[in-house]
Structure 1
Amino acid sequence: MASEKKVVLFISPLPPPAGGIATWTRRLVEMGLPDDYRIRVVNTRKDENQVLGELRRSLRIFLDLYHTLKNHEVDVIHLNTAVAGGGIAREAICLLIAKLFKKKVVLHCRCDVKEHIASMRFLWKPFASRLFKNVDSIINLNKASHIFIRSTYHRESEFVPNFIDNGFYDGLQLIENVSPIVKNILFVGMIIQWKGAGVVIEAARRLPDLTFHLVGRDVDVLSKIELIPSNITLHGELPYAEVKRMMTEADLFLFPSFREGFPNAVMEAMAVGLPIVATDAGAIPDMIGQEGGIIVKQGDVEEVVAAIQMLVHDSNKRQQMSNYNKMKVRNDYMYDAVTRKYTAIYNKTLIS
């Protein structure tokens, strides 16, 4: 007789809009979890940006969580957090509701926790402390978060990376042999200052012989720049398949972000075999190490330009980086391996 499936309840957004956590949640729902777990979701997506909209959103989440726990079987709760502002208070209240029903809660930190706590207003920090100290287990996305959580909240946490889903490679032509000549530099992400889009534009200005492709929605950068360099091509938001195709046609991936958790764009660029030039934000140093790319200082255009120029003139180094990145993703970031880490944490949490 088949064993009855356990139920994990995700408190997490679903698309639309198709942000990083929302897309992650959708893929898990579509593909399922191993080890006899099935998924329910309390959808935390934003409805409006206004304060009143946020209040309605929080009330909707609390009521949905309460009724789900009252009317459905749930074994463990997977609570995603960006460790940000009023969201941390909402998540602390979700934890309180879960504990009223005596449910185990796994907190999944989707950011660099140290950086987000440092920039958080004093008002919200007690909620963060309550959340980290009272959940049953904690998942982090990078070493810096693990160290901070241990030193600040005296809690252990487990590193689990994001994943590449099993269909990522379908119909995709990976980079097997890098081009001897570098022509195209690719950036994928919101066109926003904290993603380093301004740094990309300034680097392009200093490297007029290269073409810089920016894929993503403009938030706060382009309207403030009088003259966009002629060697920049703005593609806006593109379908996922088109983004992957552009990755396979690029020569380098540039990602000078100022803050990250575990950036999917970098992982996907690695998967196709792109050499990386990126900052040390979040998990990026853990992802590419010294073998998969070059780490540059945040906001340092000169370092970005120098790193690109070095790789332009060293195709052997780019080939080594390409090979390393493809192998790293295959070994560490595939869906089956990562989701088994989730279910192992659920199992350990349930018996603790």
Structure 2
Amino acid sequence: MSSFKKVLFLSPIPPPAGGIATWTKRIIQNGLPNNFEIAIVNTKVIGKRRVFADSINLFSETKRLLKIIIKLFRQLMFSDIKIVHINTSCAKLGLIRDYLCLLVVRIHKKPVIIHCRCNVDDIIPNYNKFIKNIFLKMINGASLVLVQNNPSLSYIKKNTNIIPILFPNFISDEIFLENSEKRIINEKISRVLFVGGITDNKGVSEILAASLYFPHIEFRLVGDISEKYEKNIDINQNVTLVGEKNYEDVIVEMKNADLFLFPSYSEGFPNVVLEAMALGLPIIASDVGAIPDMIDQYGGILIKKGSSLDIVSSLRILEEDYEKRTQMSIYNKNKVRKEYLYSKVSKNLVYIYEEVIKKS
């Protein structure tokens, strides 16, 4: 009899790229300890939705759902699955699909983990009663629930009988070790970096407003540029819209920056902030999602979302305090080493699997 234990992921894998898909791909690439094998039912978007997120065709979505359900049945029938891990983005149609998948898993009497890869308290309250009930039924039907941040945890505790577990994202040990040396902090801030979609909900308009106060600093914005900003000819001279970069090039951008700025309106557990921490960048970021827990009060300055004045005042503080930036850099690298390396996070994940399997 095989000593391997098989976990089945219901999760997207690239292409297209995305936070959940990238997380899943890296788990598959790195593997899991304690003799856990990974099986996958790919829930990625297809057709036009790969390009246009709002382009939904009910026929194609139903066809996609049936394919996922059939693949799930086959895995549960013909593979020795010990536990199922459902990554949910909390999108409307995704919640219905994930709930139906949970019911299928329950028919086969397998333990199932629901992993909320979203800022639950930002998303679920805006849905109609039907979708909210689907979400709550799914949470109540799970063997265990994982969330990415305290606001999500609080929402679920308040609206169900479930107490979720906070579970962080990770960075690969290799990336951290390759950049493990102490970061050299420049006396002056000459380059501020943002990485993410060049859109209003990522705080880009606030970055542009704040940049007017710092003509001597270059603001580099890396990421897919929305149509609004592609057509904007009034971008300040000290702002560079770089466009999309691959992972390796983003790391290079971080190495060349003096500070990481991330004034997003809503986040779950942003990998890009984790990567900036791993490279020892001081951080200015909005106090949303997991960010307050990630950087605490020691790794950066938290600002209110939508406030360009908070960006300005925080930048001025850090411009004048080289020692503070140095301490932030040291703190961020140490925190990543202690809490967010894949070797540590994956051990915690399989410990959770083993405990859930024992109780099932």
Question: TM-score scaled to structure 2, two decimals?
Answer: 0.94
Residues 1:145 and 2:144 are matched in the alignment: no
Shift of 1:121: 3.0
Q: Secondary structure at the match of 2:249?
A: helix
Contact 1:183–1:210 (Cα < 8 Å) also in 2: yes
1:177 to 168, 184, 187: 184
Instruction: Give CA-to-partner distance per residue, 1:216-254, whole Å, 9 cap, x none.
Output: 112354146341111111221112111111101100000
CA distance in 2, matches of 1:248, 1:194: 26
Instruction: Give CA-to-partner distance per residue, 1:251-282, whole Å, 9 cap, x none.
Output: 00000011111100000000000000001110
The equivalences for 1:1-352 within 5 A come to: 4-48=3-47, 49=49, 50-52=55-57, 53-169=60-176, 171-172=178-179, 174=181, 176-223=183-230, 225-352=232-359
CA distance in 2, matches of 1:174, 1:58: 47
2:129 alignment partner AA: F
CA distance in 1, matches of 2:176, 2:83: 32
CA distance in 2, matches of 1:223, 1:246: 21
Provide structure 1 residue ranges, at least 5 long, that are not aligned to the other structure.
Answer: none
Shift of 1:198: 2.1
Shift of 1:117: 1.0
CA distance in 2, matches of 1:171, 1:128: 41
Give the 3 Å change call, closer, same or farther, for CA 208–56 of structure 1 in structure 2: farther
CA distance in 2, matches of 1:274, 1:333: 16
Contact 2:125–2:132 (Cα < 8 Å) also in 1: no
CA distance in 2, matches of 1:341, 1:104: 17
Shift of 1:321: 0.4
Contact 2:285–2:303 (Cα < 8 Å) also in 1: yes
Instruction: Give CA-to-partner distance per residue, 1:290-343, whole Å, 9 cap, x none.
Output: 000000001000111110111011111000100000000000000011011111
CA distance in 2, matches of 1:202, 1:306: 13
Question: TM-score scaled to structure 1, two decimals?
Answer: 0.96
Contact 1:197–1:221 (Cα < 8 Å) also in 2: no
Shift of 1:58: 2.0
Q: Secondary structure at the match of 1:191?
A: coil
Q: Secondary structure at the match of 1:260?
A: coil
CA distance in 2, matches of 1:209, 1:54: 50
Shift of 1:210: 0.9
Shift of 1:207: 2.2
CA distance in 2, matches of 1:95, 1:130: 10
CA distance in 2, matches of 1:241, 1:117: 35
Shift of 1:191: 1.4
RMSD of equivalent CA atoms: 1.6
Q: Secondary structure at the match of 1:213?
A: strand
Contact 1:15–1:45 (Cα < 8 Å) also in 2: yes
Shift of 1:103: 1.1
Q: Which moved more, 1:233-242 or 1:126-135?
A: 233-242
Contact 1:260–1:282 (Cα < 8 Å) also in 2: yes
- What is the percent sequence identity of the aligned residues? 39
Provide structure 2 residue ranges, at least 5 long, that are not aligned to the other structure.
Answer: 50-54
Give the 3 Å change call, closer, same or farther, for CA 42–207 of structure 1 in structure 2: same
Instruction: Give CA-to-partner distance per residue, 1:121-150, whole Å, 9 cap, x none.
Output: 333111101101101001111112122211
Give the 3 Å change call, closer, same or farther, for CA 245–223 of structure 1 in structure 2: closer
Aligned residues: 351
